[in-house]
Amino acid sequence: MRLSVVALLLVFFGCATDSKKETVEEQTLAANSSALNEKYEVVCFVYHRFGDSRYPSTNVSTKDFESHLSWLKANNYRVVTLSQALENQAGGSAHVRTAVITIDDGYKSFFENALPLLKKFGFQATLFINTETVGSDDYMDWSELERATAAGVEIGNHTHSHSYFLNIDETNRYATFEGEIKNSQQLIEKELGHKPKVFAYPYGEFDPEMKMIVKALGFKSAAAQNSGVINATTDLFELPRFPMSENYADMFEEKAKMHAMSVTAKQPESHMLPRKNSRPTLSLVIKKQKLITDQFNCFIQGSKCKLKVTPESDSTVRVTVQSESSIARARRTLYTITAPDNSGEWYWYSHLWINPAVSESCTKSNFRPSRYHYVTDSLWIRQNGK
Ligand SMILES: [Zn+2]
């Protein structure tokens, strides 16, 4: 008991909080949101390794991956690249929904164990590569990337070094970030003959200026790592993706069937944990549509969650969420909000808080990177009797 208190104090002071500025004004989300049709939704997944059990928190077994693809096929999903999903919304009337498989980092196990399965099912995917490691150790080389491209895999930019850019001081952060993205674009164009149109933030971490840089460089969209579903109200430069690893492999179907909550305004816009507030309040304006508004729920890893729903207009409600205890000990924390509609379908939204003062090694030893998703998912599933 005493040991755990000491350990907790060490964690608290060793990984103390010092986050950067926050955006204080509430903003409507129209600026970066898409021109997607109102009823169109895209469920997007992020994978890393396949059939590589050395890294369970970022790996899925080949068998589980095949069962995910098989389920999508059996349920008549359109499975296309991220660019295609956002550009071409028609999808054909025969398809029920659109799903996107994204893979981050470009590990060899994708080429060896996942690409053959994608080919077997006739599905496309988007692979985000960090160019510095291409061809080394566990990573695909350029000829493998070329063959993946020929098989219908879209290549996206994931920076050159895959650094923790939020840990670079602000005077150098943006020039470094921009320089790396440009460098990767050039390398990919030189080796594969085209420039990526989509980007993914390493570790899903970014601040508002980094997002502006990605947009200014001409990318069509950028993928984050908070969970959720894409719809017309989604900011195209922070697209949500459901993580898939051994922990959640059996939750795939629930996620694939999930709907997007239509969030029309939020405060704060930024994901940076406020410097002087370790229990930040998130305020959302959400379209009621068919939602059962007294069944909103929120989940926060390692903490209880306070949620308040108040009428905002005839068609919207305001949902405020706050953690009951400090979230400053984790590098990344999700506030997740769910609600059912009157036909039993579920809706999901999450907001990521980032505290760059906590090192990933702190996060790893105390809160495994995947855990902040996993706890939410387990609680949700338990609560809803799935
Ligand atoms: Zn990555």
76 lies in some domain: yes
* Whether 295 and 232 share a structural domain: no
* Ligand 1 center–CA 343 separation, angstroms: 37
For residue 290, the domain's CATH number is 2.60.40
94 lies in some domain: yes
The residue segments making up the domain with residue 346 are: 18-24+263-383
* Ligand 1 center–CA 159 separation, angstroms: 9
* Whether 372 and 235 share a structural domain: no
4 lies in some domain: no
12 lies in some domain: no
Structural domain total, the chain: 2
Q: Which residues contact 103 (CB under 8 A, 6 or more apart)?
A: 46, 47, 48, 110, 114, 125, 126, 127, 128
Q: Which pLDDT score, from 0 to 100, does residue 90 have?
A: 62
Q: Which pLDDT score, from 0 to 100, does residue 5 have?
A: 38
Q: Which pLDDT score, from 0 to 100, does residue 196 have?
A: 98
* Whether 102 and 240 share a structural domain: yes
* Ligand 1 center–CA 225 separation, angstroms: 10
Q: Give the separation between CA 202 and CA 60, rounded to whole angstroms.
A: 20
Q: Which pLDDT score, from 0 to 100, does residue 245 have?
A: 85
* Ligand 1 center–CA 384 separation, angstroms: 32
* Ligand 1 center–CA 140 separation, angstroms: 14
* Whether 253 and 272 share a structural domain: no
Examine the fold and report which residue of 258, 283, 307 is the final residue of a domain before the chain moves on.
258
Structure tokens at 140: 């695909």
* Ligand 1 center–CA 177 separation, angstroms: 14
* Whether 99 and 143 share a structural domain: yes
* Ligand 1 center–CA 236 separation, angstroms: 19
* Whether 285 and 339 share a structural domain: yes
Examine the fold and report which residue of 203, 232, 258 is the final residue of a domain before the chain moves on.
258
1 lies in some domain: no
Q: Which residues contact 295 (CB under 8 A, 6 or more apart)?
A: 339, 340
335 lies in some domain: yes
243 lies in some domain: yes
Q: Specify the amino acid at residue 109.
A: S
* Whether 245 and 326 share a structural domain: no
Q: Which of 262, 208, 223, 211 is nearest to 86 (CA)?
A: 223
Phi, psi angle pair for 97, to nearest 5°: -145, 170
* Whether 43 and 108 share a structural domain: yes
* Whether 221 and 312 share a structural domain: no
CA distances from 278 to 59, 253, 328 (A): 32, 34, 5
78 lies in some domain: yes
* Ligand 1 center–CA 202 separation, angstroms: 5
* Whether 278 and 220 share a structural domain: no
Are 259 and 229 spatial neighbours (Cβ–Cβ below 8 Å)? yes
Q: Which of 98, 152, 110, 102 is nearest to 127 (CA)?
A: 102
Q: Which pLDDT score, from 0 to 100, does residue 25 have?
A: 41
Q: Which pLDDT score, from 0 to 100, does residue 302 have?
A: 84
Examine the fold and report which residue of 258, 273, 306 is the final residue of a domain before the chain moves on.
258
Q: Specify the amino acid at residue 206.
A: F
Q: Which pLDDT score, from 0 to 100, does residue 370 have?
A: 44
Q: Which of 336, 362, 382 is nearest to 225 (CA)?
A: 336
* Ligand 1 center–CA 44 separation, angstroms: 16
* Ligand 1 center–CA 163 separation, angstroms: 9
* Whether 114 and 234 share a structural domain: yes
For residue 202, the domain's CATH number is 3.20.20.370
* Ligand 1 center–CA 93 separation, angstroms: 34
Q: Which pLDDT score, from 0 to 100, does residue 34 have?
A: 62
* Whether 106 and 190 share a structural domain: yes
Q: Which of 3, 132, 117 is nearest to 68 (CA)?
A: 117
* Ligand 1 center–CA 104 separation, angstroms: 5
* Ligand 1 center–CA 350 separation, angstroms: 20
Q: Which pLDDT score, from 0 to 100, does residue 250 have?
A: 78
Are 174 and 216 spatial neighbours (Cβ–Cβ below 8 Å)? no
Q: Which residues contact 95 (CB under 8 A, 6 or more apart)?
A: 76, 77, 78
* Ligand 1 center–CA 271 separation, angstroms: 18
Tens digits of pLDDT across the chain (386 residues): 343 433 333 333 333 333 333 333 444 455 566 678 888 999 999 999 999 989 888 999 999 999 999 999 999 999 999 999 998 776 555 567 999 999 999 999 999 999 999 999 999 999 999 999 999 999 999 999 999 999 999 999 999 999 999 999 999 999 999 999 999 999 999 999 999 999 999 999 999 999 999 999 999 999 999 999 999 999 999 999 999 988 777 789 999 999 999 999 999 999 999 999 999 999 999 999 999 999 999 999 889 999 999 999 999 999 999 999 999 999 999 999 999 999 999 999 999 999 999 987 644 433 344 444 555 565 655 566 54
* Ligand 1 center–CA 306 separation, angstroms: 32
